[in-house]
Amino acid sequence: MNQIDKSQPSEDNSPACEQENKKGLRDSQDVVKAYRRYGRLYNMVFGPVMEPGRKQALKLMNCQPGERILEAGVGTGLALPYYPRDVQIIGIDVSPEMLRQARETISRHNLENIEIQEMDVQNLEFKDDSFDKIAIMYVASVVPDPKKMMQEARRVCRPDGDVYVLNHFASRGRIMRGVEKIISPLANLVGFHSDFDMNQFLTDAEMELVSVKGVNAFGYWKLLHFRNRPAADNKTPE
């Protein structure tokens, strides 16, 4: 895989970023530490519960022979066996512990079309326009800077390529929002924001929103399909 050195993006001083920093935004090393603590429990806790979403994401992606696909935040590799064997997959993650399990998954299923690299989704070491499709599953509310993550996704995805984001977003319902606020301190301990706002994320993505679909239990998680072209006014569907 060809990689290039590139200058670091400038600091984002937008109001949204400042607001996140006031909430105690973690850096990448904090994320690594969180998954070092809970990595071995990840498959047991998040495997079966999140499995329907992974399957639906792969179905929506409709991978075609010869495509180059990036799974950003591949984790322990739970989605890897669902990719067709005639595409090239690069899976990246910032956690060495998670990647160790991903490599075990690759070996166990003999997935010769998949390569794993340790890398931060906020600072991808790939050339521009390197991939036809990008999958970002259960990652957006974990990374310290989701906007920077999406900037990098736009950069390395070819024009008119596709980016798929599967994630939990803050509920609109008053009762569920109350529950999310209560569990927010616990959620932060295991590495994600329970109050992650979809409207802000759609704005920060700066790509055309193709579709939004509820997945997993009660449709509580959302599967977003973006096309890598300038966005119109992305709005959360009612």
pLDDT in tens, 153-185: 999 999 999 999 999 887 765 545 554 454 444
Q: 225, 219, 122: which is closest to 165 by C-alpha?
A: 225
Cα 92 to the center of its chain, rounded Å: 11
Least confident of 1-15, 115-129, 146-160, 166-180: 1-15
pLDDT at 146 over 70: yes
Structure-block tokens of residue 118: 């340790």
- In Å, how far are 8, 21, 153, 172 from 123, measured between CA atoms? 8, 19, 10, 32
**Band of pLDDT at residue 13, cut at 50, 70 and 90:** very low
* 78 vs 43, residue with greater confidence: 78
* 98 vs 211, residue with greater confidence: 211
pLDDT, position 45: 63
Domains and CATH numbers, the chain: 28-169+198-227 (3.40.50.150)
Residue 172: how many CB atoms within 10 A of its CB?
10
pLDDT at 50 over 90: no
Least confident of 57-71, 72-86, 177-191: 177-191
d(CA 144, CA 142): 7
d(CA 77, CA 99): 8
CB 153 within 8 A of CB 73: no
Kind plus residue range of the DSSP H or E element containing 103: helix 96-109
- In Å, how far are 22, 24, 49, 68, 148 from 204, measured between CA atoms? 18, 19, 28, 25, 9
CB 163 within 8 A of CB 101: no
Among residues of the chain, what percentage have pLDDT more than 70?
A: 68
Least confident of 13-27, 72-86, 115-129: 13-27
What would the DSSP string read from start to end of 79-133? Answer: TGGGS-TTSEEEEEES-HHHHHHHHHHHHHHT-TTEEEEE--TTS--S-TT-EEE
Cα 224 to the center of its chain, rounded Å: 11
Structure-block tokens of residue 230: 């300038």
Please, which residues have CB within 8 angstroms of residue 160's CB and are 6 or more apart in sequence?
227, 228, 229
pLDDT, position 187: 47
pLDDT, position 47: 62
pLDDT, position 16: 41
d(CA 223, CA 137): 9
Least confident of 56-60, 107-111, 220-224: 220-224
Q: What residues form DSSP beta bridges with 136?
A: 165
Least confident of 22-26, 56-60, 88-92, 122-126: 22-26
pTM of the complete model:
0.78
pLDDT, position 20: 39
pLDDT, position 106: 97
Q: Tell me, letter by letter, the H, E, C secondary structure of 157-191.
A: EEEEEEEEEEEECCCCCHHHHHHHHHHHHHHHHCC
Cα 22 to the center of its chain, rounded Å: 23
CB 60 within 8 A of CB 225: yes
